[in-house]
Amino acid sequence: MKTDIYESKIFKVSRRDFLKSTSMSMTGLLLGINLSCSDTSKKLVGNPDYIFSPNLFISLNGNGDVTLIAHRSEMGTGIRTSLPLVMADEMEADWSRVKVVQAVGDEKYGDQNTDGSYSVRMFFTPLRKAGATVRLLLEQAAANEWGVDVADCKANNHEVFHSSGKSLGFGYLAEKAAALPMPAEGSVKLKEPKDFKYITKQSSIVDLRDIVTGRAKFGLDNNHLPNTKIAVIKRNPEPGAGLKSFTSDNAVKVPGVLKVFTLDAPGFPTNFNKPLGGVVVVADNTWAALEGRKALDVTWSKGINADYNSLAYNGGMLNHAKAKGKVRRESGQIDKGLTSAKKIIEADYIVPLLSHTPMETPCALAHVHDNVCEVWAPVQDPQGVRKSLAEALGMDQKAVTVNITLLGGAFGRKSKPDFVVEAALISRTMGTPIKILWTREDDIQHDFYHFPAAQHLKVGIDENNKVTSWLHRSVFPPIGGTSDANSKEASGAELSMGMIDLPYAIENVCCETHESPAKIRIGWLRSVANIHHAFAVGCTLDEVAKARGVDPIQNVLDLLGNDRTIDFNSLTSEFWNYNEKLEDYPWSTARFRNVIETAKEKSNWGKNLPKGSGQGFAAHRSFLTYVACVVEVKVDANNKIRIPKVDYVVDCGVPVNPERIKAQFEGGAAFAASLALKSEITVKNGAVEQSNFHNYQVGRMSDSPYETAVHIIESNEKPTGVGEPPVPPFIPALCNAIYAATGKRIRQLPVRLT
Amino acid sequence: MATYQLIVNGESREVEAVPNTPLLWVLRDNLSLTGTKYGCGVAQCGACTVHLDGAPVRSCSTPVSAVGNKKVTTIEGVSSGESLHPVQQAWMDENVPQCGYCQTGQIMAAIALIEKNPTPSDSDIETAMSGNICRCGTYERIRKAIKRASNAAAK
């Protein structure tokens, strides 16, 4: 087992920003008593007004209070807790003395785009170093105070102890530590993993009490700006298309309605930053705005997607998938391999458009005044929001402040700044603070949807029962098509999410795509293209096992071959390793094998189950995290699918916050069950047909797993994310379990048994 | 506009609103009680759940004019000061929330369930909570928390 933990290479904050000495003395108001004199035998505190800020993320005052900056957005993953815990651990701070403060959007914090499951991966080591540097400064300050060697001084739980047993408190040492020069980089020693106090240990989230008491502030919960007005927008049902005419006569008669005006439509393609335009209704209160909007009489223009019908479009994608396409990865001779095969497995897979539907719809509070813009919004990418606001308002970014509230779910939707830009543009027009509300109908009908996909797989097995050929065609509109009409075919990154990163040792492999231009705004949804690729690959592998007459888990282990790291760059020039180099985060079949074998053991794989029940298996690496999943289903006489048990095995390197890792996997299972069993967006004549939870169904308690066991592999490998990796393998494991229970193959989502 | 005297969390509150204004928006806009959330506006998701005389209702679909003398309880009114309601405590003990947005509605639905049925079965829980959506998927822990609160009450 390795004892050191390697650092991510893509961290962009400079060492200077992390370690700069910007200690400042607070003069002026004296608040309370200087406690430093109260106990001369044990000096715990110093000047309470002194704040020691050795870096951007950590400050310590003379009372010993620690403030840690959370610079990533909290949408339910627990990141607002997990990264501060990392700093506190290395600093030897007492967690009960720590206050977590959310950073505003500012490039000085480095990457803040909370997306792609990389927060822990990117910031684990830099924030450990930030904490360890402060620990060393405090130890040095104590050593100087005592006139002893720093090597004999050790920080422990908010105090520094000398080997003789005497100690000084962090508060007392704050001002003295601030006077010291920054230690040389080599002198900062990170903790040994065995000495972790918070990292890898259980911990509750910092917002827990505020959440259960209703005090937590989400996007629409800030009521501190006087004269705030409420805005809603009526948008063209065909996203991006314009307005022909409207009358507001009845709308303005609604008591409380203040103003009705238009925002320009962007056309199509558009981009992530631009609002969709439409007719804006501003009112004194939310209900007046909604009633005013209802009273509008609007005639819309038709845009270039007025002929978009999703059923026909998906059928067209599938027709393409059945024909030879553009080769994106190829080894061996696929045609020859398939021709000479003894058995052929051939299957087509369809996944529909999906909406994110976070429980909190897009919303924001914005105030544009005196050449500045302030917003309070639930956003994943605060720096992107800041830039978009500056562009939309013609302001310098320095004039724009983006305060990040808690996000009431996001799943990728709130990485787009469009709704915040709406609020700011309306605030500028009105001259008052504006809260924008997206109703659930707005959300479901004007999302950046998860792409629909059609896939065709053809697998050849030779006379020795060996899989020799694997043909995979994947057709879906790329996310790039939302903003670029020339982007018509899946990108290498999108294909590296479960298609061209196929790890199996098969002689003839061919991966192909076709063009499929976007006809609606497409965006990334939790685990992105892994959703449809893992579904098709995982279900096809189950069919291959059946055809070979081999247990499904044994089948995958057979195909995986010897333990090795796979150099995908030599297999295709388009491989993408989630923005990391393969040498830093290799594709390890040994780690993959380990999660699979552990899942077999932990799930009691192959146990006897009554008729109508079954187990299914799938494994998938995404976002550099290795996951194996066994799902047990029970299908009753009415074809209601129940999920009594799920077993996940996850290897995400060092498990930084195991409690939240478990939560992400439990929730990921429910999220995946929801999309697999319930959800589908359809489009007719350019307009989304669903509007609310009655016709865009999502998983409720009875649709979700009853019990999810999460087995975390102990590891000192570099930590990787867990927000998205639970979703991909669950879906094929579920569908394979349905096959085991009913004999019915599922090749189209959502699952329909009748 | 009409004037209504509401009893909210034990206090008499006067609000001005048009009669068909949903209680949700009166609570949030007029009274700044923002613990009650908007999720769908059509009684499909339960994020806006409050109690009227102890019974769970969807405040997004309850006109203010229909409230009358019924006592309105919101999440802000189920506990006072530092002591939590046993259901809130169970929610903390089980670390239920992820994003947290739907949890106040979930807790209000759970409190109403436990007050009516102190020892609910799995099936009782599923039925009572079927109107509350959680997109983070915290359902397993919601069930556990309700059982924990139920056991605590039984002691």
Residues A84-116 have pLDDT tens digits of 999 999 999 999 999 999 999 999 999 999 999
Q: How many CA atoms lie within 13 A of A327 on its CB side?
A: 12
Question: Taking 50 as the threshold, does the pLDDT of residue A368 lie above it?
Answer: yes
pLDDT band at A11 (very low <50, low <70, confident <90, very high): very low
Q: Where in the sequence of chain B do the CATH 1.10.150.120 domains occur?
A: 86-154
Question: How many other CB atoms sit within 10 Å of the CB of residue A184?
Answer: 7
For residue B152, the model assigns a pLDDT of 81
Q: Which residues of B touch A213 (CB under 8 A)?
A: 35, 75-76, 79, 84, 88
Residue of B29, B44, B101 lying closest to A409 (CB–CB): B101
Helices (DSSP H) in A57-154: which residue ranges? 79-91, 119-146
Residue of A212, A286, A692 lying closest to B40 (CB–CB): A692
Question: Residue B43, by phi and psi: left (phi above 0), alpha (psi -120 to 50) or beta?
Answer: left
Nearest CA in chain B to A644: B140
Cβ of A702 and B126 within 8 Å? yes
Which pair of tokens denotes residue A158?
A: 């908010």
Q: Which residues of B touch A436 (CB under 8 A)?
A: none
Contact A240, A266 (CB under 8 A): yes
Q: Which residues of A touch B47 (CB under 8 A)?
A: 359
For residue B80, the model assigns a pLDDT of 81
Residue of A204, A255, A701 lying closest to B129 (CB–CB): A701
Residue of B35, B40, B99 lying closest to A408 (CB–CB): B99
* Tens-digit pLDDT profile for residues A246-293: 999 999 999 999 999 999 999 999 988 999 999 999 999 999 999 999
Cβ of A208 and B97 within 8 Å? yes
Nearest to A480 by CA among A542, A444, A523: A523
Question: Taking 60 as the threshold, does the pLDDT of residue A1 lie above it?
Answer: no
Euclidean distance between the first and the last CA atom of chain B, given in angstroms as a whole number: 49
* Tens-digit pLDDT profile for residues A241-259: 999 999 999 999 999 999 9
The CATH fold assigned to B86-154 is: DNA polymerase; domain 1 (1.10.150)
- Residue type for A701, please? M
Nearest to A643 by CA among A725, A724, A746, A735: A735
Cβ of A699 and B137 within 8 Å? yes
Residue of A214, A217, A407 lying closest to B104 (CB–CB): A214
Element (H, E) at A170: helix A170-178
What are the φ/ψ torsions at residue A339 (nearest 5 degrees)? Answer: -65, -40
Contact A634, A735 (CB under 8 A): no
pLDDT band at A41 (very low <50, low <70, confident <90, very high): low
Cβ of B139 and A211 within 8 Å? no
Average pLDDT over chain A reads 94
Helices (DSSP H) in A357-487: which residue ranges? 382-393, 418-430, 440-445
Question: Taking 90 as the threshold, does the pLDDT of residue A42 lie above it?
Answer: no
Contact A46, A145 (CB under 8 A): no
Percent of chain A with pLDDT over 90: 93
- Cα–Cα distance measured from residue A276 to residue A384, given in angstroms and rounded to the nearest whole number: 18
Q: Answer yes or no: is the ipTM higher than 0.85.
A: yes
- Cα–Cα distance measured from residue A143 to residue A153, given in angstroms and rounded to the nearest whole number: 6
For residue A202, the model assigns a pLDDT of 78
For residue B155, the model assigns a pLDDT of 67
Cβ of A218 and B76 within 8 Å? no
Question: Taking 70 as the threshold, does the pLDDT of residue A14 lie above it?
Answer: no
Element (H, E) at A352: none
- Cα–Cα distance measured from residue A173 to residue A99, given in angstroms and rounded to the nearest whole number: 19
Question: Taking 80 as the threshold, does the pLDDT of residue A2 lie above it?
Answer: no
Euclidean distance between the first and the last CA atom of chain A, given in angstroms as a whole number: 51
Q: How far is B59 from chain A (nearest CA, A)?
A: 13
Calculate the alpha carbon distances from A666 to A409, A541, B96, B132, B142 in Å: 15, 25, 11, 17, 12
Question: Taking 70 as the threshold, does the pLDDT of residue A34 lie above it?
Answer: no
For residue A324, the model assigns a pLDDT of 98
* Tens-digit pLDDT profile for residues A472-515: 999 999 999 999 999 999 999 999 999 999 999 999 999 999 99
Question: Taking 70 as the threshold, does the pLDDT of residue A574 lie above it?
Answer: yes
Question: Taking 70 as the threshold, does the pLDDT of residue A458 lie above it?
Answer: yes
Residue of A357, A659, A704 lying closest to B139 (CB–CB): A704
For residue A28, the model assigns a pLDDT of 24
Q: How far is A163 from chain B (nearest CA, A)?
A: 39
Q: Which residues of B touch A215 (CB under 8 A)?
A: 35
* Tens-digit pLDDT profile for residues A656-685: 999 999 999 999 999 999 999 999 999 999
Contact A379, A414 (CB under 8 A): yes
For residue A23, the model assigns a pLDDT of 33
Question: Taking 50 as the threshold, does the pLDDT of residue A348 lie above it?
Answer: yes
Residue of B1, B35, B136 lying closest to A214 (CB–CB): B35
Q: How far is B69 from chain A (nearest CA, A)?
A: 22
Cβ of A214 and B36 within 8 Å? yes
- Residue type for A591, please? R
Cβ of A359 and B36 within 8 Å? no
Size of interface A-B (CB pairs under 8 A): 187
Q: How far is A431 from chain B (nearest CA, A)?
A: 20
Calculate the alpha carbon distances from A506 to A441, A459, A559, B64 in Å: 47, 10, 7, 66
Q: How far is B84 from chain A (nearest CA, A)?
A: 8
What beta strand segments (E) does A491-624 contain? 508-513, 565-566, 587-588, 613-622
Largest CA distance in chain A: 88
Calculate the alpha carbon distances from A570 to A560, A567, A573, A577, B75 in Å: 18, 6, 7, 13, 58
Q: What is the SS3 assignment for A512-542?
A: EECCCCCCCCECCCCCCCHHHHHHHHHHHHH
For residue A5, the model assigns a pLDDT of 42
Burial state string for B46-67 with b = 16 or more CB within 10 A and e = fewer than 16: bbbbbbbeeebbbbbbbebeeb
Burial state string for A74-88 with b = 16 or more CB within 10 A and e = fewer than 16: bbbbbbbbbbbbbbb
Which is more confidently placed, A410 or A37? A410
Q: How far is B51 from chain A (nearest CA, A)?
A: 15
- Cα–Cα distance measured from residue A352 to residue A452, given in angstroms and rounded to the nearest whole number: 4
Residue appearing with tokens 């108001």: A29
For residue B81, the model assigns a pLDDT of 72
Nearest CA in chain A to B131: A700
* Tens-digit pLDDT profile for residues A529-569: 999 999 999 999 999 999 999 999 999 999 999 999 999 99
- Cα–Cα distance measured from residue A49 to residue A36, given in angstroms and rounded to the nearest whole number: 12
Q: How far is A77 from chain B (nearest CA, A)?
A: 6
Which of A81, A82, A213 is the best residue to mutate to test the B interface, defined by the most B CB atoms within 10 Å of its own CB? A213
Tell me if residue A269 falls in helix, strand or coil.
coil
Contact A647, A729 (CB under 8 A): no
Q: How far is A317 from chain B (nearest CA, A)?
A: 30
Q: Which residues sit opposite A101 in a β-bridge?
A: A69
For residue A24, the model assigns a pLDDT of 31
Q: Which residues of A touch B95 (CB under 8 A)?
A: 204-205, 208, 659, 663
- Cα–Cα distance measured from residue A700 to residue A692, given in angstroms and rounded to the nearest whole number: 15
Superfamily covering domain B2-77: Beta-grasp domain (3.10.20.30)
Q: Give the β-pairing of A372-377 and A363-369.
A: antiparallel
The whole-angstrom distance between residue A704's C-alpha and the CA centroid of its chain comes to: 20
Question: Taking 80 as the threshold, does the pLDDT of residue A35 lie above it?
Answer: no
- Cα–Cα distance measured from residue A520 to residue A236, given in angstroms and rounded to the nearest whole number: 12
Question: Taking 60 as the threshold, does the pLDDT of residue A621 lie above it?
Answer: yes
- Which of A9-23, A226-240, A331-345, B27-41 is predicted with the least confidence, judged by mean pLDDT? A9-23
Q: How many CA atoms lie within 13 A of B48 on its CB side?
A: 21
Contact A269, A458 (CB under 8 A): no
Note the pTM of the prediction, 2 decimals. 0.95
pLDDT per residue, tens digit, chain B (155 aa), is: 899 999 999 999 999 999 999 999 999 999 999 999 999 999 999 999 999 999 999 999 999 999 999 999 999 999 987 799 999 999 999 999 999 999 999 999 999 999 999 999 999 999 999 999 999 999 999 999 999 999 887 76
Q: Which residues of B touch A223 (CB under 8 A)?
A: 32, 34
For residue A12, the model assigns a pLDDT of 40
Cβ of B98 and A667 within 8 Å? yes
For residue B153, the model assigns a pLDDT of 73
Which of B60, B72, B136 is the best residue to mutate to test the A interface, defined by the most A CB atoms within 10 Å of its own CB? B136
Q: How many CA atoms lie within 13 A of A73 on its CB side?
A: 36
Cis peptide before A750 (omega within 30 of 0): yes
Helix axes A727-742, A658-677, angle to 10 degrees: 50
Nearest CA in chain B to A222: B34
Structural domains in chain A plus CATH codes:
15-213 (3.30.365.10), 229-304+362-437 (3.30.365.10), 322-355+448-742 (3.30.365.10)
Contact B20, B65 (CB under 8 A): yes
Question: How many other CB atoms sit within 10 Å of the CB of residue A610?
Answer: 8
Which pair of tokens denotes residue A639?
A: 């074809």
